[in-house]
Amino acid sequence: NFSLACKSRGSNLRVHFKNTRETAQAIKGMHIRKATKYLKDVTLKKQCVPFRRYNGGVGRCAQVYNWVYWIYQLDCWISSWGKC
């Protein structure tokens, strides 16, 4: 449905590609209210962002088991690239 879909794009942003990619994959398919609440919870460290592809040197915590992709067991706390 085109009336409910949206796209975004940014250029010349001072963010890390890998962190932004994993955050985008985490909120992909969520409704806007759920995605906003999720990003706020991540900044408050109530939930984490699971790293699926670019996961070298990423830490672990128990909150990653809330995701379907818990087999990866890698997560990260976002700071500047998760602010709503």
Question: For residue 32, is it within any domain?
Answer: yes
- What are the pLDDT digits (tens) for 40-55? 988 888 888 888 777 7
CATH number of the domain within which 62 lies = 3.90.470.10
The residue range of the domain holding 75 is 17-79
Q: What is the mean pLDDT of residues 4-18?
A: 81
pLDDT at 83 over 60: no
pLDDT in tens, 71-81: 555 556 665 55
d(CA 35, CA 29): 9
In a domain, 47, yes or no: yes
